[in-house]
């Protein structure tokens, strides 16, 4: 119980941290139902922080459906802009993965209203859409809600060392399979696609314990032909090093 002279948890948000001397501020955005934040990107050179995810609040979004949202605040916590991407111009029900490319743009991986993966590139200054790609799903699915609604990884490689072209690398979940896709940014063609579906050593018959979750792509700093994918296999943290040319796996380690 708070006493008369007790501080509330927000009292120190307007003070400077003694360690880093950075201003800490509370920022809230949402409605009366559920908001899920999947991505936070810091554009320090532009003085902006972008936040993205999913909402089902009709008093926050245009209607009580699944809506993807992105908003920007400055480094002092002031609101700059915000956008929804469902039942407006671009049909995206959620955003699950994000990264900053070498051009200083925000790249998002999300899910369309037909449950297909979406790649969207935004200009952080005003939220204008620079690129929008929808991947068509082939075959059937046993579940109504593929897991890439919640989990995903995305990376924009501006110039590939092998052929000099630009590519998106996307990873998302379909049932108990993790899909990794390389997409040409010029014509949206798929260069290659790879599936991780091994079950060795995982819990038999438990699809949730067997899930493979992509977290993020990281470029190898010593070899531009190689990349890392960090995530989770089963219930273990996992790192995969692979060739950007053909997705040949150099090694995979689990903790």
Q: What is the pLDDT of residues 162-172, one digit of tens each?
A: 999 999 999 98
Tokens 């995979």 sit on residue? 252
- Count other C-beta atoms under 10 Å from residue 114's C-beta: 11
In-domain check, residue 8: no
The total number of structural domains that make up the chain: 1
CATH number at 61 reads: 2.130.10.10
In-domain check, residue 180: yes
SS3 (DSSP) at 33: coil
In-domain check, residue 192: yes
pLDDT at 20: 52
Domain residues for the domain of 162 are 32-203
* φ, ψ (nearest 5 deg) of residue 204: -70, 130
In-domain check, residue 114: yes
In-domain check, residue 18: no
The three-state DSSP-derived secondary structure of 174-233 is ECCEEEEEEEECCCCCEEEEEEECCCCCCCCCCCCCCCEEEEEEEECCCCCCEEEEEEEE
pLDDT at 90: 53
pLDDT greater than 90 at residue 222: yes
In-domain check, residue 23: no
CA–CA separation, 109 and 148 (whole Å): 9
Indicate if the alpha-carbon torsion angle 72, 69, 147, 139 is positive or negative.
negative
DSSP 136: P
SS3 (DSSP) at 139: coil
Q: What does the block give as tokens for 206?
A: 């438990």
In-domain check, residue 165: yes
Q: pTM for the complete prediction? A: 0.82
In-domain check, residue 134: yes
91-101 residue pLDDT tens: 788 888 999 99
Q: Residue 103: CB partners within 8 Å, gap ≥ 6? A: 156, 158
């Amino acid at each position: 119980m708070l006493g008369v002279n007790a501080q509330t948890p927000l009292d120190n948000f307007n003070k400077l941290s003694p360690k880093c001397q950075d201003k800490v501020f509370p920022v809230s955005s949402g409605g009366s139902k559920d908001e899920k934040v999947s991505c936070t990107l810091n554009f320090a050179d532009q003085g902006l922080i972008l936040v993205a995810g999913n909402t089902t609040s009709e008093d926050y979004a245009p209607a009580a459906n699944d809506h993807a949202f992105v908003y920007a605040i400055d480094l002092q916590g002031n609101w700059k802009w915000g956008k929804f991407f469902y039942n407006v111009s671009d049909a995206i029900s959620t955003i699950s993965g994000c990264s900053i490319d070498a051009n200083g743009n925000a790249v998002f991986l999300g899910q369309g209203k037909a449950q297909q993966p979406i790649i969207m590139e935004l200009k952080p200054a005003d939220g204008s859409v620079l690129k929008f790609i929808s991947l068509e799903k082939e075959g059937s699915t046993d579940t109504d809600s593929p897991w890439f609604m919640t989990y995903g990884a995305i990376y924009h490689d501006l110039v590939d060392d092998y052929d000099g072209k630009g590519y998106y690398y996307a990873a998302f979940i379909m049932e108990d399979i993790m899909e990794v896709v390389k997409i040409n940014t010029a014509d949206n063609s798929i260069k290659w696609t790879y599936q991780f579906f091994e079950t060795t050593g995982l819990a038999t018959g438990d699809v949730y314990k067997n899930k493979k979750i992509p977290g993020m792509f990281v470029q190898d700093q010593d070899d531009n032909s190689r990349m890392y994918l960090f995530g989770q296999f089963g219930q273990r943290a996992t790192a995969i090093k692979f060739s950007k040319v053909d997705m040949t796996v150099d090694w995979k380690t689990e903790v």
